[in-house]
Amino acid sequence: MKKVLVTCPPMLGLFEEFVAPARELGLELVPAKTTQVLSEQELMELLPSYDGWIIGDDPATQQVFQAAKAGGLQAAVKWGVGVDNVDFTACHELGIPIDNTPQMFGGEVADMAIAYITGLARQTYRIDREIRQENSWPKPAGMSLAGKTIAIVGYGDIGYQTAKRLMGFDVNVIAYDPGVEGNKGLDYVTRKPWPDNLEQADMLVMTCSLNKHTQHMLNAETLAAMKAGSYVINVARGPLIDEQALIASLQSGHIQAAALDVFEVEPLPTNSPLREMPQCIFGSHNGSNTVEAVKRASHEALKKLARFLNE
């Protein structure tokens, strides 16, 4: 029986569901004590005792893998789509087989993007808070979505699923993604190179992966190019946005509000100026976390890890 450390919070939330299926694959799962990520030092101390690792958003760095390999780690799987926290090159150099679980929950994250779009447009989250916390009965005028332009950065699984869900909203969609050609059959989607026509967008939705080309792609310059009074939504990775530049743009009123499921530092620091902006909506990097999606991605991670460990 191969011993496997699980550090992925969504999988940990339904941990008992995976114990028996893992055993059938020859894996003994051990849950890490974490709500978000473990530190490099914690991982370096823990991982040498394990044969396999199912990774969440932890710092899976070269030195972590070196320490783990020295103790006997044989394989790893990154749970989910994003791999920006994982040093795949180090794994290959150390001879540690590794993979991720792509295209597992594009629809679920797209559902969250739509929730944020409608929540910003109609201020539903703010109304809810004021009713609950202030005992008030607010009636702010919202924004009609029909006829508006929504820009989507990233036209992979999540971006496409978001665009597809927008079909019934009677909006125009601009999609940015140099790695994808065409509009995937959605005739209301116009393809543009980033950041062309950004000034036309009433809302900007970030759904792309994080890499050296996309880090801080939404910065002071590109925010200034956006339409005054527009909205920003991020359901992908926090560092896609220069958070300080976004804060400045929100404080000036150029960007009217933002819906952020992810941040540059997670959890969001208690002293972040974002916390003082009631017009904004915040999540806890939880866009993919539905029961169905967690089961789907976790079983895929287990199968991949078992295949690696039993080769």
Encoding tokens for residue 179?
A: 């790695």
The per-residue pLDDT for range 252-263, each reduced to its tens digit, is 999 999 999 999
> Domain total for the chain?
2
Q: Is the pLDDT of residue 119 over 90?
A: yes
Encoding tokens for residue 306?
A: 């078992």
Query: Are the beta carbons of 101 and 304 closer than 8 angstroms?
Result: yes
Active site residue 237: yes
Residues 150, 270: one domain? Answer: yes
Residues 94, 159: one domain? Answer: no
CATH code of residue 230: 3.40.50.720
Residues 112, 230: one domain? Answer: yes
Q: Active site residue: 108, 126, 243, 285, which one?
A: 285
Active site residue 299: no
Give me the mean pLDDT over the 276-282 stretch.
97
Residues 125, 175: one domain? Answer: yes
What is the pLDDT, as a whole number, of residue 138?
97
Residues 205, 252: one domain? Answer: yes
Structural domain boundaries, residue 18 = 2-101+290-309
Residues 207, 122: one domain? Answer: yes
Helix, strand, or coil (residue 186):
coil
Residues 163, 277: one domain? Answer: yes
- Percent of the chain exceeding pLDDT 90 equals 98
Active site residue 276: no
Helix, strand, or coil (residue 256):
strand
Give me the mean pLDDT over the 97-121 stretch.
97
Q: Active site residue: 108, 126, 237, 243, which one?
A: 237
Residues 122, 265: one domain? Answer: yes
What is the pLDDT, as a whole number, of residue 35?
83
Residues 200, 83: one domain? Answer: no
The per-residue pLDDT for range 63-84, each reduced to its tens digit, is 999 999 999 999 999 999 889 9
Burial class of 159 by CB neighbour count within 10 A (0 to 12, 13 to 18, 19+):
buried
What gap in Å lies between CA 250 and CA 248, rounded to an integer? 5
What is the pLDDT, as a whole number, of residue 36?
86
Residues 205, 56: one domain? Answer: no
The per-residue pLDDT for range 192-233, each reduced to its tens digit, is 999 999 999 999 999 999 999 999 999 999 999 999 999 999
Q: Specify the pTM.
A: 0.93
Residues 152, 249: one domain? Answer: yes
Q: Which residues of 52-91 are buried (b: 16+ CB within 10 A; e: fewer)?
A: bbbbbbbbbbeebbbbbbeeebbbbbbbbbbbbbbbbebb
Instruction: Using pLDDT thresholds of 50, 70 and 90, give the confidence band for residue 102.
Output: very high
What is the pLDDT, as a whole number, of residue 37?
92
Residues 262, 145: one domain? Answer: yes
**Mean pLDDT for the chain overall:** 97
Query: Are the beta carbons of 206 and 234 closer than 8 angstroms?
Result: yes
The residues with which 257 forms a beta bridge, in sequence order, are: 231
Q: Active site residue: 45, 199, 221, 266, which one?
A: 266
Burial class of 145 by CB neighbour count within 10 A (0 to 12, 13 to 18, 19+):
middle
